[in-house]
Amino acid sequence: MTTASADNLLVQAQSLKARLIEIRRHIHRHPELSFEETKTAAYVASILKELGYKTSESFAGTGLIAEIGEGEKTVGIRADMDALPIEEENQNEYCSNNKGVMHACGHDAHITCALGAATLIADAVKKGLLKGRVRFLFQPAEETVNDEGKSGAVMMMDSGATKELSALIALHVFPGIPCGIVGIRSGVFLAACDSFEITILGKGGHGAFPENTVDAVVLASHVVQSLQTVISRRKAAVEPAVLTIGGIRSNTYRSNIVSGEVDLTGTVRYFNKSLSSFFEAEITKSCQIAQTLGGSFKLKYQHDTPALENNPQISETVRLSASRLLGDSNVIDLPVQLGADDFSFYTASVPSCYFVLGVGIEGQPKAIHTADFDINEDALPIGSAILADSALALLNN
């Protein structure tokens, strides 16, 4: 990169560390669920405006677009903003103030790193080092979909967020990777994701007279056992996939009542596109056990996200930026992951790279989507610098 040295960008990012921690903790204290990120977006917009960005607010509902620079070539940086319906169990002074809602997937860190990158890029503009435009996509609703089955990424794209983009990059924090390490994979990286909701219908009644009922709990237990064989006995072992039942809920809960209705919810992850129709058919077959035993069922099967596939050229640019900043030994190759992210919709239409930022806290193992999730905040300047350096490199190549 000829516009600015990677070392300087990392030094600049490190000088912003106190401010980045302040931003991240503010966002962590005030998490908002999918499609409700109004205050988060307003806070982000206020910072971007001070930096000289042109902003488009209430974009795709509760999203935000910000752009800086001039020229035909435009590179994008995406950050997701939504939190999860989890009650935080940490005892930090910056814990969530929104009961039952928590940034348990690190989106507060994603926003912060994007704002750090925005700060570095705004400084490059002042120095005349930006050759093109950089557009920030602060996206709502990565964690779920609306009534039309659309996630935040699809809504952003439908609203024109990716128009004229020549490349798009994003990061995700990984608590299982030490701070100071970055992981990248070219090609297919994350799995496609489908979700399903099943309602098992029986006939309720008194617990003392089960012969007069069709016990939906028993029916559901048979269905669950059958679903657990879809992967092990009905799918070829050479095709990676996972099927998880995430919850079971009966319409009654008392010792002397036979439930007449049970709801189940779950997810399927896979890489081979053909498995989507396979899983829908096999889950339907498993549910038909309820009919055999005298009940019935309803199945809602949702195709949520395709597999995420990183563009080789964009990935190589990000890899080179990370290596310049951190050294080759601190940039690792990642295996495919059965996790999913709606960034996959972007990768299907724009040359993109989605990489991971190590945020592990030494001696404190953490996992995303858990009530005690947290990050090593030393990673915030690193993520900021890699995003900024990659964007500048992509504009110059």
Q: Are 357 and 379 in contact (CB under 8 A)?
A: yes
Q: Do 69 and 125 meet the contact criterion of CB atoms below 8 Å apart?
A: yes
Active site residue 82: yes
DSSP 8-state secondary structure symbol assigned to residue 260: S
Q: Which pLDDT tens digit goes with each residue over 95-154?
A: 999 999 999 999 999 999 999 999 999 999 999 999 999 999 999 999 998 989 899 999
Last residue of a domain, one of 305, 338, 365: 305
- What is 287-317 written as a DSSP string? HHHHHHTT-EEEEEEEEEE--EEE-HHHHHH
Decide if 224 contacts 167 (C-beta within 8 A): no
Q: Work out how many domains the chain is built from and give that number.
A: 2
Give the integer Cα–Cα distance in Å for 30 and 88. Answer: 12
Of 282, 305, 328, the residue that ends a domain is: 305
How many CA atoms lie within 13 Å of 3's alpha carbon, on the beta-carbon side?
A: 24
| d(C-alpha 374, C-alpha 263), whole Å | 32
Q: Using an 8 Å Cβ cutoff, are 301 and 283 in contact?
A: yes
Predicted local confidence at residue 2, as pLDDT: 39
332: amino acid identity, one letter: I
In a domain? residue 270: yes
Give the integer Cα–Cα distance in Å for 137 and 356: 18
**Percentages (nearest 5) of helix, strand, coil residues in the chain:** 35, 30, 35
Taking only Cα atoms into account, the Rg of the chain, rounded to an integer number of angstroms, comes to 23
* Active-site residue (options: 36, 37, 82, 215): 82
- Secondary structure letter of residue 337 according to DSSP: B
Last residue of a domain, one of 305, 330, 362: 305
Q: Are residues 130 and 258 in the same domain?
A: no
Question: What six digits make up the tokens of 225?
Answer: 């056992």
HSE (side-chain half, CA atoms, 13 Å) at 213: 21
Determine, yes or no, domain membership for 267.
yes
> Does the residue 1 lie in any domain?
no
pLDDT per residue as tens, the chain (397 positions): 334 566 689 999 999 999 999 999 999 999 999 999 999 999 999 999 999 999 999 999 999 999 999 998 999 999 999 999 999 999 999 999 999 999 999 999 999 999 999 999 999 999 999 999 999 999 999 999 898 989 999 999 999 999 999 999 999 999 999 999 999 999 999 999 999 999 999 999 999 999 999 999 999 999 999 999 999 999 999 999 999 999 999 999 999 999 999 999 999 999 999 899 999 999 999 999 999 999 999 999 999 999 999 999 999 999 999 999 999 999 999 999 999 999 999 999 999 999 999 999 999 999 999 999 999 999 999 999 999 999 999 998 7
Is residue 86 assigned to a domain? Answer: yes
Which of 80, 88, 108, 142 is flagged as catalytic? 142
**Structural domain span for residue 370:** 6-187+307-396
Q: Can you tell me which residue has the tokens 């095709």?
A: 239
Q: CATH number, domain at 105?
A: 3.40.630.10
| Whether 158 and 170 share a structural domain | yes
For the question of residue 282 being annotated catalytic, the response is no
| Residue 105 confidence (pLDDT) | 98
